[in-house]
Homo-oligomer: A and B are copies of this chain.
Amino acid sequence: MHSLCTVATQKFLTFPWFSVSSVREMNLSVQAKLPDGQSLPLPPLILAELGKDPQKPTVCFYGHVDVQPAKKEDGWKTDPYTLTEIDGNLYGRGATDNKGPVLAWINAVESFRALKLDIPVNLKFIIEGMEEAGSLGLEEIIKKENQRFFSDVDYIVISDNLWLSNRKPALTYGTRGNICFSVEVRCGERDLHSGSFGGIIHEPMTDLIALLDSLVDTSGRILIPGVYDDVASLTEEEKKLYEAIEFDLEEYKNNSGVKKFLYDTKEEILSHLWRYPSLSIHGIEGAFHEPGIKTVIPAKVIGKFSIRQVPHMDISIGEHQVIKYLEDVFSKRNSPNKLKVSVPISAMPWVADINDPLYTAARMAIKTVFGQDPEMIRDGATIPIAQTFQNITRKSVMMLPIGAADDAEHSQKEKISRHNYIQGTKLFAALFLEIAKLHGQLQEASNTTTTN
């Protein structure tokens, strides 16, 4: 990750339109704590800026250059780390999450320069390399730079999620949060032979499987008491927003490869993706995971699951509820094994005001580039920086995706289409113009109000 971030910095440094002094590598004081206890320095954060005209609004773009793990043998047709075009799609890890959108924004800026047009806004960039690991250290920098780098920022734009469909552009006003849990059950220090100990010991896998099986029922309902207590009630206004969305259920199913969902209607599906919590079990560390057979009793197994949180759930209450529940379930088993539950990462959910001028400008830009209105959507995934930026800087924050629903972020065969990459570039350029226009009108209105 460090080297990727350094490469990105060098890229910024070589753009002729940035003076060297306007790009800074921020070294983070915190360290990444690896699961094995090892500490690693974090990759630096990049802060860059272009333009300081006090008459222009200032737009800050956030992006990240780190990616999820990917190996060709996971099921990729091409090397995940060599961008490969097939039938109009650009395949590669990070193509849509998030290197593609970062480059599209840079392309938009470069277009103005190539056409010798005045860029109608002042630009700032904040690029990090720890997003996929929970944006470690980012909050610290935002706090530190709040009165400096962010002081003259008017709008913050994040393009780190996807449209709801493959073809219809969208604007995102909310994301779910996430609490990740690690549940360790241990009987000793070394794995045992199931022939030599099977039948006479409490196997940690049996305990762990029972704990994981106590979390969620077959209908997807989370079984932990109290989890739904603070979930916001669905308002009539919100219902109407869902009804207005053109959601192609069949297309969404096809993108997932899953034949049957838990719900049948658009409203049920969108609300369970966006505004209700969900629990997913990701896997088990320490057990046998390879093809074939190994008749082992693993001595230490760690189950990994996460709960997508929604407004107005509270992370610390959620943590407490889950840990207490797991400890209760475990104590009923009378197992002599050791249980340890930890929360390596958590992030709060986020909701924005869709009547903010930034959203108005983006709607206009989308109408210009795509010839249609955007869908007003939320994202079921967690992009913690939206909440972090909004909380600390109190600026307008918007998520403006350019990737399509079938981009397979975090999965095998991640891609961005050539079409979306180019139209996304145009969209960002159009956004600069619309923001400038709207900002001028707002200032004029404010001046008129003042002179009246």
Q: Which residues of A contact B (CB under 8 A)?
A: 34-36, 68-69, 74-75, 133, 162, 176, 178, 180, 187-203, 205-207, 209-210, 212-213, 216, 218, 220, 256-263, 269, 272-273, 276-285, 287-299, 304, 306, 308, 333-336, 344-345, 379-382, 408-413
Q: Which of A196, A263, A281, A304 has the most CB of B within 10 A?
A: A196
> Within the oligomer, what is the number of copies of this chain?
2
Verify A284–B283 contact, CB threshold 8 A.
Answer: yes
Query: How far apart are the CA atoms of A188 and B75 in the complex, in Å?
Result: 13
Do A279 and B198 form a contact, CB below 8 Å, given A209-B213, A296-B410? Answer: yes
Which partner residue on chain B sits nearest A295 by CB separation?
B306
Distance of A328 from chain B, by nearest CB (Å): 14
Do A258 and B197 form a contact, CB below 8 Å, given A284-B289, A293-B304, A298-B282? Answer: yes
Query: How far apart are the CA atoms of A74 and B206 in the complex, in Å?
Result: 21
**20 more A-B residue pairs beyond the given contacts A69-B294, A198-B380, A283-B298, with a C-beta to C-beta distance below 8 A:** A68-B294, A187-B259, A191-B410, A192-B411, A193-B409, A196-B273, A199-B262, A199-B277, A202-B220, A203-B281, A206-B216, A206-B281, A280-B296, A282-B287, A282-B295, A282-B296, A283-B284, A284-B284, A285-B289, A295-B410
Query: How far apart are the CA atoms of A262 and B334 in the complex, in Å?
Result: 10
| Chain B residues positioned under 8 Å from A69 (CB to CB) | 290, 294
Query: How far apart are the CA atoms of A287 and B277 in the complex, in Å?
Result: 22
Which 10 residue pairs are nearest across A and B when measured between Cβ atoms?
A195-B381, A188-B257, A199-B278, A283-B288, A283-B287, A35-B291, A260-B336, A289-B289, A198-B278, A213-B213
Which partner residue on chain B sits nearest A218 by CB separation?
B333
| Chain B residues positioned under 8 Å from A284 (CB to CB) | 283-284, 287, 289
Give the dominant DSSP class at A's interface: loop
| Chain B residues positioned under 8 Å from A180 (CB to CB) | 293, 295
Distance of A12 from chain B, by nearest CB (Å): 29
Distance of A214 from chain B, by nearest CB (Å): 9
Q: Which of B261, B276, B333 contacts A201 (CB 8 A)?
A: B261
Q: Which of B195, B258, B335 contacts A218 (CB 8 A)?
A: B335
Q: List 14 A-B contacts (CB under 8 A).
A: A68-B294, A133-B292, A189-B257, A196-B381, A198-B280, A200-B220, A209-B213, A218-B333, A258-B336, A280-B296, A283-B294, A284-B284, A293-B344, A295-B410
Verify B200–A273 contact, CB threshold 8 A.
Answer: yes
Do A188 and B283 form a contact, CB below 8 Å, given A195-B308, A209-B209, A291-B34? Answer: no
Query: How far apart are the CA atoms of A285 and B292 in the complex, in Å?
Result: 9
Distance of A280 from chain B, by nearest CB (Å): 4
| Chain B residues positioned under 8 Å from A36 (CB to CB) | 291
Verify B285–A334 contact, CB threshold 8 A.
Answer: no
Query: How far apart are the CA atoms of A193 and B212 in the complex, in Å?
Result: 19
Q: Which of B189, B199, B344, B382 contacts A273 (CB 8 A)?
A: B199
| Chain B residues positioned under 8 Å from A187 (CB to CB) | 257-259
Verify B280–A194 contact, CB threshold 8 A.
Answer: yes
Q: Which of B189, B261, B282 contacts A194 (CB 8 A)?
A: B282
Query: How far apart are the CA atoms of A285 and B295 in the complex, in Å?
Result: 14
Query: How far apart are the CA atoms of A203 and B278 in the complex, in Å?
Result: 11
Which partner residue on chain B sits nearest A34 by CB separation?
B291
Query: How far apart are the CA atoms of A68 and B34 in the complex, in Å?
Result: 29
Q: Which of A34, A180, A257, A269 has the most CB of B within 10 A?
A: A257
Query: How far apart are the CA atoms of A287 and B205 in the complex, in Å?
Result: 15
